[in-house]
Amino acid sequence: MFDFLKKKIKDSINKIQKKLEKEEIEDELTAEEKQAIVENPQIVLREEKEGTPTVQETETEEKKPEPREIKPKQHRAKTPEPKAEEKHKEKETGKKTTKRLLSHRINEADIEGIYQEIKSDLVENNVALSVVESIHADLKKNLLGKDVSMLAIKKEVEEAIKNSISDILLEYPMDAMFATIKTAKPFIILLVGVNGAGKTTTLAKLSQFFIGKKFRVVASASDTFRAASIEQLQIHMDKLGVDLVKHTYGADPAAVAFDAIKHAKNVAADVVLIDTAGRSDINKNLIEELKKVKRVSKPNLTIFVGDALTGNDAVKQAEIFDREVGIDASIISKADVDKKGGAVLSISYVTKKPIMFLGTGQDYPDLIPFNKERTAEFLLKD
């Protein structure tokens, strides 16, 4: 699902590296820089000799002097004769050596350059502006003033972006939920979202998921609003062998949920999954209806189901559902057809609630627990 985002981040980082590399490699060493290097071998040098491969000199463990500020070109003094140790080295190798400074202290302009590179790419891929700004702040905090070897710049920027993304993404503590299910009897899950987001399909997938964990499931047909919604859910539940509690169309969705919970207690079911109606707009009626269902059913978990394809709309919906009804986690559906991936980052960031699963298709097993480290790593790996 993150293919576009991944490619864009990679392209940006490569561009950033090339730009910084070019600036530094063109920078001939001055006397002052040479002195800085003699005093501070932490600065990585590359020796360029005709016909020989690049050589790196790195710092020894015991010697760690403070990094030194290197002044811009126009203020440099005339280059004096090479130091005795350098002459000695040239003598040893028998070849003339041109040393070029390969270390770079990341400055404000670099950070802005990096930010400008990635900003439009992230926004294009459904990453909300607030998220992009948070990544910007992280880059500043983690990279500004840092001395990095030219050869390591790409890695440093990648690490900084990866850490920032991984801080934004929140993962659901699945094991803690399994432990609660064992004592809750029943553990109640309420699914909310706009129409077509994938609530009913996700409910069916969740049923399969819990059945796979040896939990008994009861479903509540609390979408009494949309035509054919009850039959749609009935077909799924029949296939999965799950008890469905239903009333007629137009019935009170909260009353259906109440009966479903009662039934679950009677049959000692472990989990109750409550389907709800969506609306094309998140209007007052829908919110009032959901608030009532929530009040009556007292769910252990209210999950927002968001359609990844709708990008920033899904982000706004998540914010509204969270503010009006209160959500504990999100499931992002249609990740299989969304190549951008930004909705996941943005929904996690704006709601500050974990992403529980990604919906990755229309079949019951197409529900994968969300793993933030794997996602952040995938976004940045080659």
Ligand X SMILES: Nc1nc2c(ncn2[C@@H]2O[C@H](COP(=O)(O)OP(=O)(O)OP(=O)(O)O)[C@@H](O)[C@H]2O)c(=O)[nH]1
Where does this chain bind ligand X (CB under 6 A)?
A: 193, 195-201, 223, 226, 229, 277-278, 333-334, 336-337, 359-362, 366
Alpha-carbon distance of 77 to 53, in angstroms, equals 30
Bridge-based pairing of strands 103-105 and 147-149 is: antiparallel
Nearer residue to Mg ion within complex by CB, 204 or 318: 204
42 and 147 Cβ atoms separated by less than 8 Å: yes
Minimum CB distance to ligand X, residue 292 (Å): 17
Collapsing DSSP to helix, strand or coil, 306 comes out as: strand
Residues 6+ apart with CB under 8 A from 105: 67, 69, 70, 145, 146, 147, 148
How many CA atoms are closer than 13 Å to the CA of 341, on its beta-carbon side? Answer: 20
Q: Is 207 in the site for Mg ion (CB under 5 A)?
A: no
222 part of the interface to Mg ion, by CB under 5 A: no
| Dihedrals phi, psi of 324, to nearest 5 degrees | -85, -40
Residue nearest to ligand X (CB): 359
Q: How far is CA 298 from CA 162, 179, 182, 274, 362, in A?
A: 37, 18, 17, 11, 29
Name which of ligand X, Mg ion, none residue 193 binds, using a CB cut-off of 5 to 8 Å depending on partner kind: ligand X
Q: Which is nearer to ligand X, 103 or 229 (CB)?
A: 229
Tokens of 244: 């469905």
Give me the least distance between CB of 200 and Mg ion, in Å please.
3
Using CB under 5 A, which of the segments 77-85, 160-168, 197-205, 324-332 binds Mg ion? 197-205
In the bound state with Mg ion, the residue whose beta carbon lies nearer, of 9 and 204, is: 204
Nearest distance, CB of residue 331 and ligand X, angstroms = 9
How far is residue 29 from each of residues 58, 100, 317, 342, measured CA to CA in Å?
17, 6, 56, 43
153 vs 192 by CB, closer to ligand X: 192
Using DSSP, state whether 126 is helix, strand or coil: coil
To the nearest whole angstrom, how small is the minimum distance from the Cβ of residue 337 to ligand X? 5
200 near Mg ion, rule: CB under 5 A:
yes
Comparing CB distances to ligand X, the nearer of 82 and 196 is 196
- Strand order through the sheet with 55-57: 55-57, 45-48, 98-101
Closest to Mg ion by CB, 30 vs 222, is 222
- Residue 195 interacting partner from ligand X, Mg ion, none (CB closer than 5 to 8 Å by kind): ligand X
| 310 touches Mg ion by CB under 5 A | no
Minimum CB distance to ligand X, residue 191 (Å): 8
User: Which parts of this chain interact with Mg ion (CB under 5 A)?
Assistant: 199-200
